[in-house]
Amino acid sequence: MSQIPLPPPAPCRPVVREHFGVRLEDPYAWLRDPAYPEVRDPEILAWLRAENAHFEAMTAPLRRFEDRLFEELRGRIEEEDVSVPVREGPFEYRWRYGRGAQYRIWERRPAAGGGFRPILDENRLAEGLPYFDLRALAVSPDSRFLAYGVDVDGSERYEIRVRDLERDEDLPLRIPHTSGVPVWAEAGHVLAWVELDERLRPHRVAAAPLADPTRRRVLHEETDPAFFVGLAKTRSRRFLVLTTGTHVTRETRLFCARSLEGGDPVVPRREGHDYRVDHAHGRLWILTNDRHRDFRLVSAPENDPREANWDEVIGPEDGVYLLDHACFRDFLVVEERVAGVDRIRIRDYAGREHRVDFGEPLYAASLGDNREFATDRLRLHFSSLRTPATVYDYLVPARRLEVRKVQRIPSGYDPEAWVAERLWATSRDGVRVPVSLLRPRAFPRDRTRPLLLYGYGAYGHGIAPTFSPHRLGLLERGVAFAIAHVRGGDELGYGWYEDGKLLRKWNTFHDFLACAEALCAAGWTAPGRIACQGGSAGGMLIGVVVNERPELWRAAVLQVPFVDVLNTMMDPSLPLTPIEWPEWGNPLRDERAFRYILSYSPYDNIRRQAYPPMLVTAGLHDPRVTYWEPAKYVAKLRAFRTDSRPLLLRTEMGAGHFGPSGRYEHLREIARIQAFVLDAFGLAERTE
């Protein structure tokens, strides 16, 4: 990396404005196409393509090594993979991958017996397309029709289509600009969906019968731009559940699944009240944070669910974070987290309860695909840092786990070669922060070894200590892997999230730095021997810590990073901005929020200093983190940094927030990132 080709020039054209008496200068605002969500400005496209060409030139010596990593990654996945069948009505459903196939084939068979037959081939739907994503699919109550949502450019503007499974052909019906999640009513082949507005905000729920789509009916339209709409159906098939919410406030409306009548709120919205609703036996079962931030479970009559009629089922308890719940005919299930470890609680309607014993101290577990209301077994997913993903059926009456599938690593895997453990770091304010560490068993604590530290820390989205075969290439080359469970996630409860948002956001960044320092103090690595990685809001985290402590990092990877925080939060025309204000603050109206965001926003805090080698990615059609955020960030870094280390930007020109869609293209992206990281550690094979 010593001989660096010149990157493409980015003209500096400052846009200056003043807010709360502060002069703001945005030197690369021109990289935002005014026609967005269309991107057609020739100068912008030419600059992005030139950056991609620069990336290719810079990484050309790593191409053979990248190919080798790709083949290793490919060797660790089941090329002819198949899911465990799941029962829905008179059929069992599954997906499978064919050898060499990028996408899945969906199949079903009669539950009474017989062979599987294909009902949807994603590979055929994706032919000739640079991007393809199947968001969701739903079978009609009589099992005849299959509705599904597809995105063909990464913009997350899904088109819903319907297939007649008896005739094995799609209907002419096409429903554009949806969230991609179809939901069937229980009578008359009536389909419901969520519509997006011109700014890609899910704001309206509509329904129509297949026989006459012109009889489209609007069930609800949300007028508050800060509230996004979602749609589901209770497993009891009694209600369609329409939710409107922000990251912290939720309101639920129920519609009769047969007639689509109803629509009154279960509880009218009030700021900060988050609740989730399920149904069984004439009652609503409601998970609510009305009295405790870690939630409690209550029930109420379905015909009069006012709060005055709530009966407490599971009371709140400090340290026990109730994540979600699901109702079945004979029992309900509560997903909870205690001290950062997932637990599955099963409770019958008489009040008897127990928890599933997975036999490991540090793991992640969750409900899988459970479609039947009347069942005596649960589909569960389980893994840990060392244990490959396992699909269980839990036989509830017998309290027994039955293994249905264990992720196989065709090239071989020995869990005894690796050690997983939890460490604790002390952050700047004295709070202890958990760190999950996975390392080779023969990994001396001599402060010489390389380590990759991953973080996220936003929206209450905790990073679970799960298994990934993709890490094995790093581990086999002597690189340890760690997750910093920083505040802003919910690993230690809802309070852990609240302590890493709004005017406490700096806790997230201090926590990550503390985790890096704790790993060094424990001897597992040393300053300058750590690569850091994060995506989206986690990319913002990495942007902050490389500004603050550039000397700590051997390399930094920022995937679709949210780095232009202040400008984005001051632009309500963007689809996500109003819903994001409860997370970051509203700098348009609140001077404290404005100055606080300005204090950490990575783009606004780039300094004249040396930075580590950096790889930044973007998606041209990304509606979550718009392409110009990483583009502007890299352009400004090039102008300010005082070193000559690699700074690479790679934009997916045909994809969005989640990168390329095919499974092999996804592996190729992982190989590119790992080649970059390993090269920074001097562990790559270069061809000059």
Catalytic sites, residue numbers: 536, 622, 657
Phi, psi of 612 (to 5 degrees): -70, 165
Q: Hey, is 262 helix, strand or coil?
A: strand
**74: number of CA atoms within 13 Å, CB side?**
16
Q: In degrees, to the nearest 5, what angle opens at C-alpha 113 toward C-alphas 110 and 114? A: 80
Two tokens, residue 177: 């600009």
Q: What is the DSSP string of 606-672?
A: --SS----EEEEEETT-SSS-THHHHHHHHHHHHH--S-S-EEEEEETT-BTTB--SHHHHHHHHHH
Q: Looking at this protein, which amino acid is placed at residue 666?
A: H
Q: What is the DSSP string of 488-545?
A: TB-TT-HHHHHTTSGGGTHHHHHHHHHHHHHHHHTTS--TTSEEEEEETHHHHHHHHH
Distances (CA, A) of 611 to 470, 512, 634: 27, 18, 12
Provide CB contacts within 8 A for 59, sequence distance 6+.
66, 648, 672, 675, 676
Q: What is the largest CA-CA distance in the chain?
A: 74
Question: CA-CA distance, 424 to 404, in Å (whole number)?
Answer: 35
Q: Is residue 230 within 8 Å of 242, Cβ to Cβ? A: yes
Nearest to 242 by CA among 204, 296, 186: 204
Cis bond leading into 37, ω under 30°? yes
Q: How far apart are the first and last CA of the chain?
A: 10
**254: number of CA atoms within 13 Å, CB side?**
21
DSSP, res 676: H
According to DSSP, the residues that pair with 436 across neighbouring strands are: 422, 483
Name the CA dihedral angle for 184, 189, 190, 196, rounded to a multiple of 10 degrees: 60
Q: Is 21 left (phi over 0), alpha (psi -120 to 50) or beta?
A: left
According to DSSP, the residues that pair with 377 across neighbouring strands are: 395
Q: Looking at this protein, which amino acid is placed at residue 105?
A: I
Question: CA-CA distance, 594 to 17, in Å (whole number)?
Answer: 14
Q: In degrees, to the nearest 5, what angle opens at C-alpha 85 toward C-alphas 79 and 88? A: 145
Helix (H), strand (E) at residue 64: helix 63-75
Q: Is residue 92 within 8 Å of 39, Cβ to Cβ? A: no
Q: Hey, is 421 helix, strand or coil?
A: strand
Question: CA-CA distance, 317 to 345, in Å (whole number)?
Answer: 14
Phi, psi of 265 (to 5 degrees): -65, 140
Nearest to 440 by CA among 384, 473, 480, 403: 480
Two tokens, residue 631: 């583009």
Q: Is residue 6 within 8 Å of 50, Cβ to Cβ? A: no
For the chain, the 3-state helix, strand and coil shares in percent, each to the nearest 5, are: 25, 35, 45
Q: Is residue 278 within 8 Å of 322, Cβ to Cβ? A: no
Angle between helices 663-680 and 63-75 (to 10 degrees): 130
Two tokens, residue 366: 């969750």
